[in-house]
Amino acid sequence: MYDVKQIRNTVILGHGNSGKTTLAEALLFTAGAIKRLGKVDDGTASMDFEEEEIKRQISTSTACNHFTWKKQQIFLSDTPGDDNFFNEAKFASLMADSAILAVGSVLGVRNQTEHFVDLIQDRQLPCLICITKMDRERANFQKTVEEIKEAFQLNPVVLYLPIGQENKFQGVVDIVNQQALLFKKNGTMQQGEIPADMIDEAAARRENMMEYVAETDDDLIEIFLEEGELSQEELTTGLIAGVSQGKIAPVFPCSSLNNAGSSLVLDAITDLLPSPAQRPAAIGTDPTTKDLIERAGTAEAPFSAQVFKTMADPFAGRLTIFRVMSGTLQGDSFYNSSKGAAERFSHLFLMHGKEQKEVESAVPGMIVAVAKLKETETGDTLCEQNAPILYERPEPMPWVISYAVRATNEKEEEKLFSVLTRLLDEDPTLKMTREHQTHEVLISGVGQVHLDALKDKLQRKFSVEMELALPKIPYRETLKAKATAQGKHKKQSGGRGQYGDCTIELEPLNNDEHFEFVDKIVGGVIPQQYRPAVEKGILEAMEKGVIAGYPFEGLKVTLIDGSFHNVDSSEMAFKIAGSLAFKKGVIKADPVLLEPIMEMEIRVDQDHVGDVMGDLNSRRGRVLGMDSADKYELVKAQVPQAEIQLYAPDLTSMTGGRGSFRVWFSHYEEVPAHIAEKIIAEHNAA
């Protein structure tokens, strides 16, 4: 049985190429959890084990691991930094008690860093800041720390000053204990002398740290103002409390590729970051009464957990990964309060990268997994049936890009969509829909790389290839004027002939209705039994359109005249006559193409509002207004669907990754004449 007080659950966050996975590898290696120091560049990282990750040299999903350091049980989650897989970082941060923010010493603070700091601040996670890649050319520790101070309200406090930079990065000055620590090859440190040119700076940093620590506690600030300083014990105690409460964020320089500084980070995880029992109680609701319920992160509380990740495997089946929020999980079953169903499992596992290790029980803070659950999905709450609770389901990132999907081999269509359905469970940011007008199956995701990685995974894991193509725009046709037209179908070819004759009036419907049919026949010029056939013929012709092959809508048809033959008339003849009258009438009634208009809400920083609005205008968009949300502006607009099929990468390029958007269908509008001409010409040439 694990002791909750000795558990640390932390997540590594940071923008792409900030060195998160390399840092995770160094921590695991120094703690003895892996036998070799894996590298992302040569595909040996234990936390990037999917083929898509090795190929692209980026993390595409959260990897979890567990190891021991100083008798503390550390549960570590390494998350992607690419915007396409931000949802993985979001869900993992919701399950963590603390965070490690990785910021590269060469690239510094990037636009995307802001997204990850938002995750930390939204959850009020105690945070360590690692300035990575200190061995690289142009590494600049001080500049990076200043950028963090200017950009975010994290209160960064330097705990260790680097001794040297780039290829001369050889150790650190411990600000708290005023001593030098020099790196050894195995990741450990040895005590040394503070370089003479750093003694004054180290003393100034210690004084600065005292101020930061004192400001986190009323008693300490009083002592500091009276005495002018804090004792070593007061400083250490105040530092632990300040970090644990998220009031200050210690800063560490490191070079993970050389395993320099990893032991300092491990010490900080165990000494400064809180256990699950020290974090605020988890808040959920009673599934029946909807009353709020608190669950403390202790082993004695009723068991509850939340699923944050599902992995689909063609051999092992579905692996459900969850974080224990309260209580102790033992036995072989639990209750899924999200689905109202009991679930049984055979084995309980700890995650070690792509490997799993069986355990008998789990307590708060632990990340564990079970296989082959029938009902459970990502976001579900697990608990005791006699003490039910329901945690808020995390909202996945909205999809922003869609492609029409089909199997490369037509014979594998069924297999493709079966596998895609399984992968929808694994990735909540994927969405599959069928466009009834174009008859295309659409797969939607967070970005181009997201869908490309999905394509690679399908081929590698399930041996099925899919093709992606831009979806057809579901244009429609309508008319703007009134017209009268006759449709006569007369055929005589020996034996019984065919005869149907009808005259109709066509006019636009202005009440958003699809179709209205009015029968104004008098005197029996068309017998009652044939009139519905006229309507049916018109409806079938409307499906195929007239000017460009798109469905017709917004049409009122009045049947006003016609004739019939006692022998040769039939339902089929009047159906054809209705179709002919419709096509003739449309040509005379000023037909036009309609296009879908999408409602957009674009979230962007103030600096890029002008660029975004100018770009929307160039896409035939209409800006409807703006709202402010925290430090962002929300631009609301209506834009033709045809103009924003690849808007996601364009917005990223335009805003340096600081923009995001939501989109949904609004209504149909007439296509401008010059664009309609091209669409009609393409249809006629096909």
Domains, the chain, in order of start with CATH, read 4-278 (3.40.50.300), 282-383 (2.40.30.10), 401-469 (3.30.70.870), 477-589 (3.30.230.10), 594-685 (3.30.70.240)
Tokens 């109709």: give the residue.
504
- Global pTM exceeds 0.75: yes
What local confidence, expressed as pLDDT, does residue 304 receive? 97
Check if the beta carbon of residue 367 is closer than 8 Å to that of residue 276: no
What is the average pLDDT across 387-396? 94
What is the average pLDDT across 628-652? 89
**pLDDT tens digit sequence for 230-239:** 888 989 999 9
Highest mean pLDDT, choosing among 194-198, 444-448, 485-489: 485-489
Highest mean pLDDT, choosing among 60-69, 214-223, 317-326, 577-586: 577-586
* pLDDT of 162 higher than 70: yes
* pLDDT of 346 higher than 80: yes
Per-residue confidence at 5, pLDDT binned at 50, 70, 90? Answer: very high
What local confidence, expressed as pLDDT, does residue 315 receive? 65
Check if the beta carbon of residue 154 is closer than 8 Å to that of residue 229: no
What local confidence, expressed as pLDDT, does residue 145 receive? 94
**Residues in a beta bridge with 157:** 250
Highest mean pLDDT, choosing among 30-39, 76-85, 294-303, 490-499: 294-303
A 10 A CB-CB count for 217 gives 18
147 phi-psi bin (left φ>0, alpha ψ -120 to 50, beta other): alpha
DSSP type of residue 390: B
* pLDDT of 672 higher than 70: yes
What local confidence, expressed as pLDDT, does residue 148 receive? 94
Which is it for the CA torsion 159, 165, 169, 173, positive or negative? negative
SS3 87: helix
What is the average pLDDT across 383-408? 92
What local confidence, expressed as pLDDT, does residue 649 receive? 87
What local confidence, expressed as pLDDT, does residue 574 receive? 96
**Residues in a beta bridge with 282:** 295
Strands 440-445 and 431-435, how do they pair?
Answer: antiparallel
Distance between alpha carbon 669 and the CA centroid of its chain, in Å? 31
SS3 569: strand
**pLDDT tens digit sequence for 244-283:** 988 999 999 999 888 888 999 999 999 999 999 999 999 9
Residue whose C-alpha is closest to residue 441's, from 409, 475, 414: 414
Distance between alpha carbon 99 and the CA centroid of its chain, in Å? 19
**pLDDT tens digit sequence for 293-344:** 999 999 999 999 999 999 876 666 788 999 999 999 998 999 999 999 999 9
Percent of the chain with pLDDT over 70: 99
Q: Tell me which of 512 and 645 has the higher pLDDT.
A: 645
**pLDDT tens digit sequence for 531-577:** 999 999 999 999 999 999 999 999 999 999 999 998 899 999 999 99
Q: Tell me which of 461 and 121 has the higher pLDDT.
A: 121
Per-residue confidence at 218, pLDDT binned at 50, 70, 90? Answer: confident
Say what angle helices 232-244 and 262-272 make with each other, to 10 degrees.
80
A 10 A CB-CB count for 140 gives 17
C-alpha span between 60 and 48 (Å, rounded)? 8
Phi then psi dihedrals of residue 658, to 5 deg:
-95, 0
DSSP type of residue 170: -
Check if the beta carbon of residue 328 is closer than 8 Å to that of residue 362: yes
CA distances from 117 to 108, 124, 126, 152, 657 (A): 14, 10, 11, 8, 15
* pLDDT of 185 higher than 90: no
DSSP 263-326: HHHHHHHHHHSPPGGGSPPEEEE-TTT--EEEE-SSTTSPPEEEEEEEEEETTTEEEEEEEEEE
What local confidence, expressed as pLDDT, does residue 684 receive? 85
**Which run of H or of E encompasses 484?**
strand 483-491
* pLDDT of 645 higher than 80: yes
C-alpha span between 125 and 132 (Å, rounded)? 20
What is the average pLDDT across 446-466? 87
**Which run of H or of E encompasses 541?**
helix 531-544
What local confidence, expressed as pLDDT, does residue 130 receive? 95
What local confidence, expressed as pLDDT, does residue 625 receive? 92
**Residues in a beta bridge with 335:** 342, 383
CA distances from 638 to 25, 81, 184, 649 (A): 47, 31, 60, 19
Percent of the chain with pLDDT over 90: 59
What is the average pLDDT across 650-672? 89
What is the average pLDDT across 24-52? 81
Residue whose C-alpha is closest to residue 83's, from 655, 652, 683, 663: 652
Per-residue confidence at 484, pLDDT binned at 50, 70, 90? Answer: very high
Highest mean pLDDT, choosing among 33-42, 425-434, 581-590: 581-590
**pLDDT tens digit sequence for 82-107:** 888 889 999 999 999 999 999 999 98
* pLDDT of 621 higher than 90: yes
Residue whose C-alpha is closest to residue 526's, from 491, 501, 556, 557: 501
